[in-house]
Amino acid sequence: MGGLAALARADGHSVTGSDANVYPPMSTQLEALGIELTEGYGPEALDPAPDLVLVGNAMSRGNPAVEHMLNERMPFTSGPRWLGENYLSGRRVLAVAGTHGKTTTASMLTWILEFAGLNPGFLIGGIPNNFGVSARAGSDLFVVEADEYDTAFFDKRAKFVHYRPQVAVLNNLEFDHADIYPDLKSIQTQFHHLVRTIPGNGTIIVNAHDGNLRDVLDWGCWSQTARFGLAESADSDWQVDLREPGGRELDFIRAGQPVGSLAWSMSGRHNALNALSAVAAATAVGVAPDQAVAALAEFTGVKRRLELLTELEGIRVYDDFAHHPTAIRLTLEGLRRSIGGARILVALEPASNTMRGGHHINELAPALMAADHVWIRTSEAMDWDPHEVLSKLDGIGRARRQVDNLLDDLDQAVRPGDHVVFMSNQGFGHAPQRFVERLQTRFTAS
């Protein structure tokens, strides 16, 4: 929604917005654009009445602002529909979908197109460091992060059915969003709805390792397809070979022929696959593969995607947007391969509806195995006992409800050479920034 606000502002509209919990980096981006933010959902946020209200999918009946909007008969629509009708119609759309890696892959793809001089427009659910903003209008090419979550309280279709892409990246598919989808098949159905919107002369870039996506395409596919995967284990059109375990040096292969090598700052097999799918998607709109690979050497990551906040006295502190056990596992395994035997300290806030509901409790302990110490922030909204997870971690974990207590524990435990990773898809009480401030105070005093 913040990105949509930025697009509307750039188009000359007067834009205001409201949210229950406004925090960086999106809040600072919107403030820099001159977009007024209101904390909370009182009717006053819609006074005077706007010409159009874009309703986010977090809103539901009973919300004071929603009820006021309906009672006053204000014109309203959903963000995805507004985007599809106002920015994507008539453009060549490249949509990046999947349970994990959408933001990072969309950011990589956008940077490749920018590097190639194509001035893409984009809407991404994070802030790519290469751009410093999450959205811009750009040229006739437009990259959109394509989310499978539902559109609005009045439109229960997945967001991505509004986007009508020419090129679609399908990175992976797992069960998620248990608050709206009862099972995996219902999510696969939404992905197939996306597949049905892609033209015959369009292209689907699909993960060759993912059986759930394979099933989706088996239900019916009318577009060109290109499969991507790891060179060691996938029979695919596009392959990536990791020349060192951490994934910092990669070779790219297309149809059995090398197309480029890459040394970069990212790590992990998941990011190698993200990069491969981005290269394949850029090639589908005319970028030379070797140029696409070369662009990634200058890719500088995304805020809150294992974002390095600071390094002080050999202690590295990261902020990571964690929403699912698979994403947690891949991030920590990638970091482990990259740093070897150094200690990893993890502070986890299970904040998504699915994580709080305990739907992934059996996968969470295995996802954290690469860490040396784990703290889980508890809350009243959690429907499970964190000790069920911590008991499987051989005594390396602790549950804390108060952020201050969790930070006190970290203060006592951390030592030079450690990698401290804060993982949450919400604000975590500003814990990462507060911990950095503690370290700065400690080492300044010493």
pLDDT digits (tens, 9 = 90+) for 6-59: 899 988 999 999 998 777 777 888 888 889 888 889 999 899 999 999 999 989
**What's the CA gap between 387 and 410, in Å, rounded?**
19
Q: What are residue 24's DSSP bridge partners?
A: none
Q: Is the pLDDT of residue 446 over 80?
A: no
What local confidence, expressed as pLDDT, does residue 67 receive?
Answer: 97
SS3 annotation, 16-36: EEEECCCCCCHHHHHHHCCCE
What local confidence, expressed as pLDDT, does residue 382 receive?
Answer: 82
- Asked if the 307-445 domain carries CATH number 3.90.190.20, the reply is yes
Amino acid, single-letter form, for residue 420: V
Judge whether 215 and 185 are in contact, CB under 8 Å. Answer: no
Q: Where are the domains of the chain?
A: 2-74, 81-296, 307-445
CA dihedral for 150, 153, 157, 162, sign (positive or negative): negative
Quick one: average pLDDT of 241-252? 90
Cα 308 to chain centroid distance, Å, stands at 16
Judge whether 345 and 413 are in contact, CB under 8 Å. Answer: yes
**What's the CA gap between 10 and 228, in Å, rounded?**
36
**What's the CA gap between 388 and 392, in Å, rounded?**
7
Q: Which of 209-218, 229-238, 313-322 has the highest mean pLDDT?
A: 209-218
Quick one: average pLDDT of 401-424? 94
Quick one: average pLDDT of 229-235? 82
What local confidence, expressed as pLDDT, does residue 327 receive?
Answer: 83
pLDDT digits (tens, 9 = 90+) for 325-374: 888 888 898 889 888 899 999 999 988 777 787 777 888 889 999 999 99
Residue 185 CA: distances (Å) to CA of 102, 190, 209, 215, 444: 20, 9, 18, 10, 54
What local confidence, expressed as pLDDT, does residue 285 receive?
Answer: 98
Q: Is the pLDDT of residue 294 over 90?
A: yes
pLDDT digits (tens, 9 = 90+) for 254-289: 999 999 999 998 888 889 999 999 999 999 999 999
Could you tell me the pLDDT band of residue 322, with boundaries at 50, 70 and 90? Answer: confident
What local confidence, expressed as pLDDT, does residue 120 receive?
Answer: 97
Quick one: average pLDDT of 149-172? 95
Could you tell me the pLDDT band of residue 234, with boundaries at 50, 70 and 90? Answer: low
Between 113-117, 162-166, 183-187, 215-219, the lowest mean confidence (pLDDT) is in: 183-187
Could you tell me the pLDDT band of residue 219, with boundaries at 50, 70 and 90? Answer: very high
What local confidence, expressed as pLDDT, does residue 390 receive?
Answer: 87
What local confidence, expressed as pLDDT, does residue 155 receive?
Answer: 96
Judge whether 393 and 291 are in contact, CB under 8 Å. Answer: no
- Asked if the 81-296 domain carries CATH number 3.30.930.10, the reply is no
Could you tell me the pLDDT band of residue 174, with boundaries at 50, 70 and 90? Answer: confident
What local confidence, expressed as pLDDT, does residue 178 receive?
Answer: 66
Judge whether 407 and 375 are in contact, CB under 8 Å. Answer: no
**What's the CA gap between 285 and 232, in Å, rounded?**
27
- CB count within 10 Å of CB 53 equals 19
What local confidence, expressed as pLDDT, does residue 254 receive?
Answer: 96
CATH superfamily, region 2-74: NAD(P)-binding Rossmann-like Domain (3.40.50.720)
Q: Where are the alpha helices (DSSP H) in 255-370?
A: 269-284, 289-296, 325-339, 353-356, 361-367
Mean pLDDT of the chain: 91
Quick one: average pLDDT of 230-241? 88
Q: Is the pLDDT of residue 236 over 90?
A: yes
pLDDT digits (tens, 9 = 90+) for 109-160: 999 999 999 999 999 988 899 998 889 999 899 999 999 989 999 999 999 9
**What's the CA gap between 282 and 298, in Å, rounded?**
16
